[in-house]
Structure 1
Amino acid sequence: MMERTTLHLPRSQPEAQGIPSAAVIAFLNTVKEKKLELHSLMLLRHGQVVVEGWWKPYASDIPHMLFSLSKSFTSTAMGLAAAEGKLSLNDAVVSFFPEDVPAEINSNLAAMEIRHLLMMGTGHDQDTTSKLQQCEDGNWVKAFLDAPVEHAPGTHFVYNSGATYMLAAILQKVTGQTLLAYLQPRLFEPLGIEGATWESCPRGINVGGWGLNVTTEDIAKFGQLYLQKGVWNEQRLLQEDWVDEAKSAQISNGDGGVSDWAQGYGYQFWRCRHGVYRGDGAFGQFCIVMPEQNAVLAMTSGTNDLQGVLDAVWDHLLPAMESSSLPANQDAHSKLAYELQQLALPLPQLPPDSPLEAIIDGFEYTLEQNEPLWKSISISFEANTAVVLLSKEDIEYTIKLGRGAWVEGTTPLFQREYQRFVGSFAWEQENTLQLTLRLIETPFSIHVHILFDGDNIVLSQNSNVLAEKSEIRGRKTEVK
């Protein structure tokens, strides 16, 4: 892997910054016991990295898909643009797109301001994202402005990724730059964030509400900037009043209680219990800022139990932070260092081979009609790898998987662009092959099970975080 030249945060030991190593071990044990699939974590205290770990095959230099944690970066761009006088939070949304507004603008749409986009108080009854993605002409702005606005803006919270897209569209309209380009000299370069990428809509506007990819340490730096109220290396990047507004509850999103999704919402930041706030994304991408503890926690994950992850933080990490340094505890620190070094997502504990390999090796199986439009599959076995050939129309995809170990590669199999993955295979039974692919720049792990029954196969697929399952049947079509 290429070595990153990014400026790294300073390192320290937990006890030196008032955190007992035993508390971190307890957190890691809870993550393991509750089967919370974390991919990485980095804990900062007083500006120092005191804990960092990656569950292999994830690693420190691999960027991770942030999903809605991207929203907090989009919000930051709006704060910067407001400070530069390029826009005001009181500006009407329709004022930026006269060519895309509906023929009749109702009063709620007319009253919608940038701040309502930021606080998820647009007045919509439901998220507009699917409406945007399904519009035939690719004009997401027009699709958003065409959506019914049922409530007065600022009075009704609905989590709405389409609203964040509109922030990105407004920014590009007033600056002539994409979000990514605009943030490059103002945020990414000062923080030493390199190689960031951001997904775009069909018209070349960064989608804003998701699609940003950076590393765990980049997330931690972003959180530290907010903890320091916009100052970085003695240079003010963000206005302090912006940070105060962005992290404060601007609209009610529930009745509080024990849910960290009902404590109020700021400008693309969630309020949490315990005086904490966070940016977060689907499947457990977190940037947690703890002002009272002077701490930041960055995590990437592939789990649906986001509240479980936060509960583990509140139970073990947050209450263990002391106001002053603790005596050095080399035994505890050595144990923690060992635990962090051993972090790994387990390979399937299954037989690595089967007598069936010699029988099915190299045969092609034609697949029945299926939604992914796969036409055929064949598998060849070598000493330590399985080579899977999947055909779709006139394209053939090759995937190599390790025998009881990870093999890394890239594939456009799941998206138009090539994605990094690691693959492994094992045998659930003598006649059932399991293929595991981890898309290591995303939260997703894909598990394919192939049942061999004479000349027939049944191929089923499921994911670590997605509920959808599929089953495809096939039949042997040629002789070796």
Structure 2
Amino acid sequence: MKLLHGVVVAVVVGSGALATGQEPGGAGLSRSVPEEQGVSSSAVLGFVEKADATIEGMHSFILVRHGRVVAEGWWSPYDAETRHQMFSLSKSFTSTAVGLAVAEGKLSVDDPVLKFFPDDVPENPSDNLKAMRVSDLLRMSTGHQIEPNRPDDKVWTKLFLSQKVPFKPGTHFLYNTSATYMLSAIVQKTVGKTVLDYLGPKLFEPLGIDDPTWGTSPQGVSLGGYGLSVRTEDIAKFGQLYLQKGKWNGQQLVPESWVAAATARQTSNGSNPKSDWDQGYGYQFWRSRHGAYRGDGAFGQYCIVLPEQDAVIAITSGVKNMQAVLDLVWDELLPALKSETLPADAAASQKLEQRLKSLTLKPQAGAPAPGSTVKVLGKIYKFPANDRKLESITLERAGDGPTTLVIRNNGVDRHVACAPGGWTKGRLVLDGLSGPAEHAAAVSAAWSADDVYTAKIAFVETPFLVTLQLKFDGDQVHLTTESNVGFGPTKRPELVGKAE
């Protein structure tokens, strides 16, 4: 995944409010007061308060009990209408597509992988490669020691099959996103549609999951192991479908046998009793502590299903420590789920509701204007040639109004409206992806010191938040950018600009 390995300068092209879509899922999950479903409002409030205080980067949270949403909240600028990148939580959806294709007789989990790609088979394939089956892809036991790469200039299926398979398939667990891609390619080969299109009428539409997006490989195959973007309530619906053993509104969308197999322990992956990544692995689902199972994605995207408690928890976030979020769920939420209806507690439920509506990421702290001796407003600071194509930066402020950050990037001036004390939503251009592209984002900025201007940029369809810092020193400005999380280095080298 190439997104924000090292985040480049990002700039706003519009600062108006983002368009609000219809309620996610249309006829979404029904709602209930927590106590009516045996959930303590006070305990849920405790979870929310602790998450807000200790988990930097919570974006959303939904708790479903007995099929009803009893608590839901979004940390502004994140909201219910905006899709969020799922990363490896996508794998559980790909598994579902495989299960549906199996049910239609399009393939079997016992089929050899080579069967589907006759044009990509290497000369003299090894016995281990010939023995690799669909079930081995599903349970991340392909026999690889190293995950195959997926460069843009190669055919991914062919590259996968050319990778050495030193272990007998089924005997060695290796988390392998390329294996999930192969599952997506197999589904597309057998049903004649991408996984995204195949799941449309079979899963997304019945669940009311509107307008999901899913990236594709250079060969036009849904990425499978990542790349899906849906809303938080969509995650909750998916989990509820699995909790209900594949049934939705009286219709069996996914075979119950597949749900059972996919969420069972299909292979061992460790022995640490305190780790939710050592409890076994199913068919693209993780087994968890406390009898639960889940799909999850990088930097804190979770679909947690608790069959014993008849509950589902959906979370999106941008965190380095994913185990810390699960620990908080087990410590704070699990005890809140009681076996019987609880007495009404209007005061507690109202307090919870109000707190959920007021959640926000911490805006950038600081003053609205620089120190009295810092004379930088209106000056153009130019940068030498650099790989980020950043040409110049200017800070503008009219009277007591908000500061505007003007960034000249790749020959174009962009204006970033930066009102302090909150978040300004807009559309951003990220240079350094596959060409300039707009992304939904929000900005919070202030003078964190007399001579330091700091801007937080939250890319609200992703886990990523970039902190951009400008330190002014005489006729120079020192620019640093750092991302909260990333698949590679999160801090970019400093750039130094000089006033004209």
- TM-score if structure 2 supplies the norm length? 0.91
- Tell me, yes or no, if structure 1 residue 15 matches structure 2 residue 32: no
- Deviations along 1:348-385, one digit per CA (max 9) or x if unpaired, are 22112114798333333222344434233333234543
Per mean C-alpha deviation after superposition, the further-off stretch among 356-365 and 239-248 is 356-365
Match of 2:404 among 366, 383, 387: 387
Alignment of 1:103-182 (within 5 A): 103-128=123-148, 131-132=149-150, 134=151, 137-182=153-198
Given that 2:29 and 2:69 are in contact with CA atoms closer than 8 Å, whether structure 1 keeps it comes out as: yes
Match of 2:88 among 68, 84, 88: 68
Give 3-state SS (helix, strand or coil) of 1:60's partner. Answer: coil
Deviation at 1:338, TM superposition (A): 2.0
Specify the alignment match of 1:4 in structure 2.
22
Match of 1:450 among 451, 454, 470: 470
Given that 1:37 and 1:303 are in contact with CA atoms closer than 8 Å, whether structure 2 keeps it comes out as: yes
Q: Which residue identity is paired with 1:470?
A: R
Match of 1:407 among 424, 437, 442: 424
Specify the alignment match of 1:225 in structure 2.
241
- Tell me, yes or no, if structure 1 residue 94 matches structure 2 residue 110: no
- Tell me, yes or no, if structure 1 residue 420 matches structure 2 residue 432: no
Given that 2:374 and 2:450 are in contact with CA atoms closer than 8 Å, whether structure 1 keeps it comes out as: no
Q: Which residue identity is paired with 1:344?
A: T
Specify the alignment match of 1:275 in structure 2.
291
Q: Which residue identity is paired with 1:407?
A: T
Specify the alignment match of 1:285 in structure 2.
301
Specify the alignment match of 2:490 in structure 1.
468
Deviation at 1:247, TM superposition (A): 0.2
Alignment of 1:178-197 (within 5 A): 178-197=194-213
The 1:412–1:475 alpha-carbon spacing in structure 2 relative to 1, beyond 3 Å, is: closer
Gapped regions of structure 1 (runs ≥ 5): none
Q: Which residue identity is paired with 2:141?
A: G
Whole-angstrom distance in 2 between the partners of 1:28 and 1:197:
29
Give 3-state SS (helix, strand or coil) of 2:78's partner. Answer: coil
Per mean C-alpha deviation after superposition, the further-off stretch among 284-293 and 415-424 is 415-424
Q: Which residue identity is paired with 1:148?
A: K
- Deviations along 1:139-172, one digit per CA (max 9) or x if unpaired, are 1111211111121111111111111111111111
Alignment of 1:421-436 (within 5 A): 421-436=441-456
Give 3-state SS (helix, strand or coil) of 1:56's partner. Answer: coil
Give 3-state SS (helix, strand or coil) of 2:119's partner. Answer: coil
Specify the alignment match of 2:16 in structure 1.
none
Given that 1:401 and 1:422 are in contact with CA atoms closer than 8 Å, whether structure 2 keeps it comes out as: no
Whole-angstrom distance in 1 between the partners of 2:72 and 2:373:
41
- TM-score if structure 1 supplies the norm length? 0.95
The 1:384–1:408 alpha-carbon spacing in structure 2 relative to 1, beyond 3 Å, is: farther
Whole-angstrom distance in 1 between the partners of 2:163 and 2:49:
47
Whole-angstrom distance in 2 between the partners of 1:357 and 1:418:
37
Give 3-state SS (helix, strand or coil) of 1:471's partner. Answer: coil
Given that 2:391 and 2:411 are in contact with CA atoms closer than 8 Å, whether structure 1 keeps it comes out as: no
- Tell me, yes or no, if structure 1 residue 310 matches structure 2 residue 330: no
Gapped regions of structure 2 (runs ≥ 5): 1-18
Whole-angstrom distance in 1 between the partners of 2:338 and 2:484:
36
Alignment of 1:312-331 (within 5 A): 312-331=328-347
Q: Which residue identity is paired with 2:465?
A: S
Greater relative CO (CA pairs within 8 A, separation 6+): 2
Whole-angstrom distance in 2 between the partners of 1:286 and 1:360:
44
Whole-angstrom distance in 2 between the partners of 1:216 and 1:259:
25
Given that 1:138 and 1:203 are in contact with CA atoms closer than 8 Å, whether structure 2 keeps it comes out as: no
Given that 1:31 and 1:37 are in contact with CA atoms closer than 8 Å, whether structure 2 keeps it comes out as: no
Specify the alignment match of 2:219 in structure 1.
203
RMSD over aligned Cα atoms: 1.8
Specify the alignment match of 2:13 in structure 1.
none
Query: How many residue pairs align between the two structures?
Result: 474
Whole-angstrom distance in 2 between the partners of 1:206 and 1:356:
55
Whole-angstrom distance in 2 between the partners of 1:396 and 1:90:
57
Give 3-state SS (helix, strand or coil) of 2:416's partner. Answer: strand
Given that 1:278 and 1:286 are in contact with CA atoms closer than 8 Å, whether structure 2 keeps it comes out as: yes
- Deviations along 1:94-125, one digit per CA (max 9) or x if unpaired, are 11111122122111111111111110111111
Identity %: 46
Give 3-state SS (helix, strand or coil) of 2:468's partner. Answer: strand
Given that 1:370 and 1:472 are in contact with CA atoms closer than 8 Å, whether structure 2 keeps it comes out as: no
Per mean C-alpha deviation after superposition, the further-off stretch among 335-344 and 369-378 is 369-378
- Deviations along 1:177-202, one digit per CA (max 9) or x if unpaired, are 11111110000000000011011112
